Amino acid sequence: MIIDSAALPSVQRGRRGTVVFIDDDALGVAKQLEEMKFPEGYGKLRLAWNEFKESFIVIQVKDDGSEHIVTAAKQADGRLIDRVRRITHPSYNFAQELEEIDAQADKERDWLFSQRVGDLAERLAHSVRKDIQAKNRIFLPDGISER
C-alpha cells in the first residue's frame, strides 16, 4: 500500500481489507522522500506499508514505471530518511557494508563461543593437569637465579 504525503493523518484500507492508520511521522517521511532530488532517469522515492511483514518499504519508482525496493524499516522516522540519504549517496558501497556486517557477526559469534567454552576449557585443562600430575614449573635461563 503506497503512502501518499498528505497534510493530515489519514486512514487507508489495505490489501487484506484491514484499516491502516497513517500517522504524521509516516506522512512526513513520505513527503521528505518525494521531495528528494535525483539525477534525470532515476525516478522518485515512495513510501509503502507492507501489511504482511508490518514494515515500511522505500520504493524507487523510475520514469518508465518500474519499481525497485530500496530499503525497509519497522518505523518511519528520521532514521529511515538518514539511511535513504546514505544509500543514495554516490560514495555508498553496498558490498563494503555487507562485509562490515559479516565481520561484526563473526566477532560476536567468536565472543559468544569463547564465553560458553572458556570456563569448560579451563576445567578440562585443570583436570588433565591433575590426572597427569603436572606441576607448574618455570625454567630460568642461565644467569638468572631463584630467590
pTM above 0.85, yes or no: no
Residues in the chain: 147
Rounded to whole angstroms, how far apart are CA atoms 19 and 30? Answer: 19
Tens-digit pLDDT profile for residues 4-25: 665 555 666 666 667 776 777 7
Same domain, 126 and 99: yes
Q: Quick one: which of 43, 37, 28 has its CA closest to 80?
A: 28
In tens, the pLDDT along 79-96 reads 999 988 888 887 888 888
CA pair distance 52, 54, nearest whole angstrom: 6
d(CA 147, CA 79): 64
Cα distance between residue 85 and residue 88, in whole Å = 5
Looking at the fold, whether 17 and 79 belong to one and the same domain comes out as yes
Residues 8 and 30 in one domain: yes
Which domain covers residue 127, as residue numbers?
Answer: 93-133
Rounded Cα distance between 49 and 58, Å, is 9
